[in-house]
Amino acid sequence: MSREITRRDFLNGFALAVGAALLPPHLRSFGLQAGPEQSPDYYPPTLTGLRGSHPGSFEVAHSLRDGTFWESAGKPESTGEVYDLVVVGGGISGLSAAHYFRKAAGPKARVLILDNHDDFGGHAKRNEFQAGNRRLLGFGGTFSIESPAPYSAVAKGLIEELGIDVSSYSKYVNKDLYRSFGLSPKIFFDKETFGVDALATNPMPRIGGENETERAQAHAVDSFLNEAPLSEQAKADYVRLVVDKNDYLPGLSSDEKKARLARMSYNTFLADLVKVGPELVKLFQAVPQSLFGVGFDAVAAQDAWGLGAPGFRGMNLNPAPGKGMNRDAVPNEEAERYFFHFPDGNASIARLLVRRLIPEAMPGASSQDVVTARANYAKLDQGSSAVRIRLNSTAVRVRHEGDPASAKEVEITYARAGKVHSVRAAHCILACWHVVIPYICDELPEKQKDALASAAKVPLLYTNVALRNWKAFQKLGANAIYAPGGYHSYTNLDLPVSIGGYECSRQPEEPIVVHMMKTPCKPGRPARDQHRIGRMELFNTTFETIERNIRDQLARTLGPGGFDPARDITAITANRWPHGYSYEYNSLWDKFWLEGGETPCEVARQPFGRIAIANADAGAYAYTDGAIDQAYRAVGEIIKT
């Protein structure tokens, strides 16, 4: 413990040993040998404060990265367990892999899933709050079943097998609830960025707003122009941008224009081609953060066109997708219709998968009753069960027993509660984050390790704030607030979904969960640099700082509606995801994406001996269906061996 700590900047003040003392208090108090999960009080969804990649989940992996883990780790002790399959990573990809493997190998196949977090589901994270005798649910990560491209037959098949009828969504969502109270999307202009704190109508229909009728949209534009604290010049720029049918690249064919737009950011397009002033650039800047984790300084103008950003009406661009477009920016009606939101987001998918794998751990029988089911964490890792999920366990080494070409087994070593254990398995699927794999699987070819390492993820902060009521939102007529200069860029009232005995908040006097989203990017730099710097920022930000910023932002935004943070906020869960979305390729920096050729994810996901590689990273696609598709492929590969 007295050893000098290097690279402190990554560590948020945590020391780099695997000792029990470093466990977060909620795990420490359970006693380590019995396994904290065995306690009836063990129920991570209700924990508040810093969640997502919570303290206690990442220290071991970071010490591996820094090359210090094995200095302080004891000799691995074999548990004596032998499995047909060990899956590293208990997110949707890992859980799906276990599911597909059992379908292929039979229900008696023995499977162990390891995850470093205190809960299963990976990014599909459930948050619960208690408001009096009412339970409120929130999503701590994955929000919904949605994808820019249609779900594959495989991914759709799994959703159906889990009993989710996506077409029934309209039965559960109260689509008109907020509209019936006169609420609509707003923009919060902050004084640091725009000179004054002010709330104005959000006129952007598709990007950052809701789909509206043309009349409502025209009305929204009118209100925006009246209310926004922008200069007359900026308002004139806005009207010109939205209304004009100028061709800003005259004399070029549609393909030539798209090729140019793919290589310039939307901010450059706005400033240099449309020649709007800096106020409008600042206004639009944060809009795409929820999709890409960066603003329009790092999103190609071609992608902005695909997303429906203004300025392209007179450009005569062929509506077919252009070369190098990000899949999020390619509109697809079939995909847009395929949408389903559970109150805890896609944590319900993870919970349904767990029910399939270990029925005793998740009471109930339908995709509706899973919403209120209380998971029994004590049942996740039972010797009597063919499938076991071992939480709070970080895989630290995965290697074949002998020559990978002929080995019959893989040894998987993991750290849990300060000790290092090993198990053996006929196969291993690495469904964890790709950047971790080179540190735990040394025997992979160097080229593959480089490709895996290049998949550094997009950092995100998904914060859930439980409020006593939403009267201030009602008074201000706001249900979704875009804050281009805010600490959190988006603040949304919970999507009103009632399902399986769970009732959403229907009256402004009732408690509710408000969802806030931040991407800690650094505009002006290449996307990957922005993500790297943002990841460090998230690691180094304390909960107290996040909380102070939430209180400040909500007070300034909602104060004129009577909001008092001290009185109205009842709990905060900040889901910190320094390793968030899978990195998706970007035509501004990833040449292969624009010009063709092998992509890093294709190199990264090659099977190696008895090891296959899953995770959404394997498709460079930050969606649930990607995680499922990659699990299916990985299982197919090991079944072949």
Residues near 63 by beta carbon (within 8 Å), at least 6 away in sequence: 16, 17, 18, 69, 72
Tell me the closest approach of the beta carbon of residue 437 to ligand FAD, in angstroms.
Answer: 8
404-428 burial by CB neighbour count: b if 16+ within 10 A, else e?
eeebebbbbbbbbbbbbbbbbbbbb
Q: Is residue 262 within 8 Å of 324, Cβ to Cβ?
A: yes
Tell me the closest approach of the beta carbon of residue 451 to ligand FAD, in angstroms.
Answer: 16
Q: Can you tell me whether residue 251 is helix, strand or coil?
A: coil
Tell me the closest approach of the beta carbon of residue 158 to ligand FAD, in angstroms.
Answer: 13
Return d(Cα 344, Cα 350) in angstroms, integer: 10
- If the CB atoms of residues 420 and 460 are measured against ligand FAD, the closer one turns out to be 460
Beta bridge partners of 519: none
The residues binding ligand FAD (CB under 6 A) are 61, 88-94, 114-117, 122-124, 141-144, 146-147, 394-395, 431-433, 436, 440, 460, 462, 577, 580-582, 615-616, 622-624, 626-627
- In sign, the C-alpha dihedral spanning 538, 541, 544, 546 is negative
Tell me the closest approach of the beta carbon of residue 432 to ligand FAD, in angstroms.
Answer: 3
- If the CB atoms of residues 273 and 441 are measured against ligand FAD, the closer one turns out to be 441
DSSP 215-227: HHHHHHHHHHHHH
How many CA within 13 A on the CB side of residue 538? 33
- If the CB atoms of residues 267 and 624 are measured against ligand FAD, the closer one turns out to be 624
Tell me the closest approach of the beta carbon of residue 572 to ligand FAD, in angstroms.
Answer: 16
φ, ψ at 165 (rounded to 5°): -100, 95
Q: Is residue 465 within 8 Å of 565, Cβ to Cβ?
A: no
Tell me the closest approach of the beta carbon of residue 324 to ligand FAD, in angstroms.
Answer: 22
Tell me the closest approach of the beta carbon of residue 127 to ligand FAD, in angstroms.
Answer: 12
- If the CB atoms of residues 91 and 565 are measured against ligand FAD, the closer one turns out to be 91
- If the CB atoms of residues 340 and 482 are measured against ligand FAD, the closer one turns out to be 340
- If the CB atoms of residues 265 and 454 are measured against ligand FAD, the closer one turns out to be 454
Tell me the closest approach of the beta carbon of residue 301 to ligand FAD, in angstroms.
Answer: 25
- If the CB atoms of residues 234 and 527 are measured against ligand FAD, the closer one turns out to be 527
Tell me the closest approach of the beta carbon of residue 598 to ligand FAD, in angstroms.
Answer: 21
- If the CB atoms of residues 356 and 556 are measured against ligand FAD, the closer one turns out to be 356
10-26 burial by CB neighbour count: b if 16+ within 10 A, else e?
bbbebebbbeeebbbeb
Return d(Cα 464, Cα 269) in angstroms, integer: 35
Residues near 398 by beta carbon (within 8 Å), at least 6 away in sequence: 88, 410, 411, 412, 413, 428, 430, 440, 441, 611
- If the CB atoms of residues 147 and 201 are measured against ligand FAD, the closer one turns out to be 147
